[in-house]
Amino acid sequence: MVPFLGITLALWVTIGAAIFTATEASAMRGLGGSVSSGLQTPSTTAPTTTPPTTTAATTASSTTATEEDDLPQIITRLKAGTKAVKGVALIVSKDGEEIGRSKTDAEGFAAVAVPGSGQYQVKLDPLTLPDGVTFEADAPKQLTPLVLGNNDRPVIFRLTTESEASTSGPGTAERLVGLFASGLRFGLVIALAAVGLSLIFGTTGLTNFAHGELLTFGAMAAWYLNSNSGGLGIPLLIATVGAVILGCAFGASYDVVVYRPLRRMGMPVVSQMVVSIGLALATRYTFSVIFGSNAKQFSDYAAQSPTVDLGIISLRPKDLVISAVALIALVAVGLFLQRSRLGTAIRAVSDNPSLAIASGINDAGVIRTVWALAGGLGALAGVMLGATEGVQWNMGQHVLLIMFAAVLLGGLGTTFGAMLGGIFVGVVSDMSTFWLDADLKIVVALATLVLVLLIKPSGVFGVRARKA
């Protein structure tokens, strides 16, 4: 049994790596073809129109311009309140040596080309700030963005007018409301992922430690579809739909390739849980080889200022979109489980598998559907997380414990408990940063979980196990 398991896992990971590698190689071949065809154009059109000396100068200048266009840029758009700030010098340095500078245009936009990947120091020349414009309270005056490959790197400087700074500083109420809003967004994303984790446990009894990789896969798939550098350049909204479809297939492959053969062999659930740990490690480090170890940003909506005014706070448009889409998805899942025949079958298998099978329900088909649904929801959550925090090969691992906390808090196997548990954990962990260091917010979430379980061991919505 153990050799068979090893061969199955190795084959599954190898096939996944081969598919990703082939996709990336195909994209690179297409990119190479377009570059080579672009380089051939000057040699065919240059000779006959100008004298040799002029042609050489023109060719040299166009080549230099082309090279500069190919370089990554650090870009910003300056606003004080709702007005663009013109004529401010953006200065980019590396290791104390100035790389370049550029002044903002009438729309507050400025860009400085940098030679390549690396950590840069970016600041504004204070002598060029217009009268009455200053930095917000506690806003950093120098940023240290990390440029990756040929991807442009947006940066945001928080500016305000002196009149606004003197009359409307970030008070306690504003900070608490802002933390609540960010916690609600994060909690909705965690709830979306935790629903799939809870459904898997309810139908199979398996605690899936490889669930975080479903989020990572979705974010990576969306990045490859959306990125203008190394990807297909598809708009992020369409790329998200593609990532969810691929995530459904990836989640279903977990069951078809790994767990269904193990169930047929009669492997205990505890042993399957250990397999999920090994599967998580194997998949995670396969992702690191394929995707790389550096964080990457989507090409769309990478940098947004908090331009949506909600009274006491202002939010970024993408934060509102993420919260709305996550909430709609959670409501849709709830209606699907309550109103559809397939949802009823899923709940029946979760409540009593033997009775469900005796009633004519195809439990294998239900379980496969649950894995596909978990993969799709995880992929959607991964795209949302990547849009706010960047895409990394181990991003799913970072939120795995929080997903477990949400599921346990709501009650194992209870879908609606996982939804509310995710929202509660997200809000509590983010709001705790008002009093504690941000690095402790996961500790606060887990401590809250322990306190709740001490009072109600089955979770808030869990059902106490019946004793014989």
- Is residue 163 pLDDT above 80, yes or no? no
Residue ranges with strand state E in 72-167: 73-77, 79-80, 83-84, 89-94, 97-103, 109-113, 118-119, 121-124, 133-135, 142-143, 146-147, 153-154, 159-161
Query: What strands lie across the sheet with 89-94, from one edge to the other?
Result: 97-103, 89-94, 121-124, 142-143
Q: Are 289 and 19 in contact (CB under 8 A)?
A: no
Structural domains of the chain, count: 2
Residue owning tokens 């409307």? 168
In a domain, 86, yes or no: yes
Phi and psi, residue 293, nearest 5°: -90, -10
> What share of the chain has pLDDT > 70, as a percent?
80
What is the rounded CA–CA span in Å between residue 319 and residue 313? 13
Q: Given 134, 168, 202, which residue is the final one in a domain?
A: 168
- Please name the residue that has the structure tokens 């490959």: 149
Q: Is residue 60 part of a domain?
A: no
Domain boundary among 126, 149, 168: 168
Q: What is the average pLDDT across 278-305?
A: 88
Looking at the DSSP bridge assignments, the partners of residue 90 are: 102, 124
Assigned domain for 16 exists: no
Crossing angle of the two packed helices 415-431 and 441-455, in degrees rounded to 10: 130
> Looking at the domain assignment, is residue 191 inside a domain?
yes
Q: 230 lies in which domain range?
A: 173-455
At 54, list the tokens: 């002029």
Q: Is 205 left (phi over 0), alpha (psi -120 to 50) or beta?
A: left
DSSP 413: T
What average pLDDT does this structure show over 417-435?
90
- Is the pLDDT at 111 greater than 70? The verdict is yes
Q: Which CATH number characterizes residue 295's domain?
A: 1.10.3470
pLDDT of residue 45: 40
In the chain the first and final C-alpha atoms are separated, in Å, by 34
Of residues 131 and 306, more confidence is placed in 131
**The last residue of a domain, from among 135, 168, 201:** 168
Work out the burial of residue 138: count CB atoms within 10 Å of its CB; fewer than 13 is exposed, 13-18 middle, 19 or more buried: exposed
Q: How far apart are CA 461 and CA 33, in angstroms?
A: 58
Q: Are residues 346 and 301 in the same domain?
A: yes
Same-domain pairing of 241 and 155: no
CB-based contacts of 359: which residues, under 8 Å, 6+ apart? Answer: 348
Record the tokens describing residue 249, joined without a space: 């297939």
On whether both 211 and 159 belong to a single domain, the answer is: no
pTM of the model: 0.67
Mean pLDDT of 333-346: 94
Burial class (CB in 10 A: 0-12, 13-18, 19+), 11: exposed
The position carrying tokens 């442009």 is 152
Tell me the pairing of strands 308-309 and 314-315.
antiparallel
Same domain, 212 and 260: yes
Do residue 153 and residue 218 come from a single domain?
Answer: no
Each residue's pLDDT tens digit, 211-260: 999 999 999 999 999 998 888 999 999 999 999 999 999 999 999 999 99
Please give the pLDDT value at position 170.
Answer: 56
Share of the chain above pLDDT 90, in %: 47
Q: Say whether pLDDT at 157 is over 70.
A: yes
- So what's the pLDDT on residue 43? 39
Residue 48, pLDDT > 50, answer no
CATH of the domain at 85: 2.60.40.10
CA distance 110 to 448: 45
366-376 per-position pLDDT tens digit: 999 999 999 99
CB 429 within 8 A of CB 441: yes
- If asked whether residues 192 and 226 sit together in one domain, one would say yes
Residue 178 and residue 145 share a domain? no
Query: Which secondary-structure segment (H or E) carries 201?
Result: helix 172-204
Give yes or no for residue 71 having a pLDDT over 90: no
**Crossing angle of helices 317-339 and 172-204, rounded to 10°:** 30
Asked whether residue 369 is domain-assigned, the answer is: yes
Lowest mean pLDDT across 32-46, 123-137, 365-379, 417-431: 32-46
pLDDT beyond 50 at 200: yes
> Are residues 199 and 224 located together in one domain of the fold?
yes
Average pLDDT along the chain: 81
- 213 shares a domain with 188: yes
CA 81/CA 66 separation, integer angstroms: 36
**Is 14 a domain residue?**
no
Residue whose pair of structure tokens reads 């979306």 in the numeric block? 192
pLDDT recorded at residue 171: 66
H or E element in which residue 401 lies = helix 395-410
Residue of 243, 250, 253, 186 lying closest to 218 (CA atoms): 243
Are both 177 and 160 inside the same structural domain?
no
Contact 214, 382 (CB under 8 A): yes
Length of the chain: 468
How much is the pLDDT for 114?
92
- Residues 153, 210: one domain? no
440 domain-assigned: yes
Say if residue 184 is in the same domain as residue 156: no
| pLDDT at residue 463, as a whole number | 57
Higher pLDDT, 66 or 361: 361
Return d(Cα 224, Cα 407) in angstroms, integer: 30
446 confidence band (pLDDT: 50, 70, 90) = confident
Residue 464 lies in a domain: no
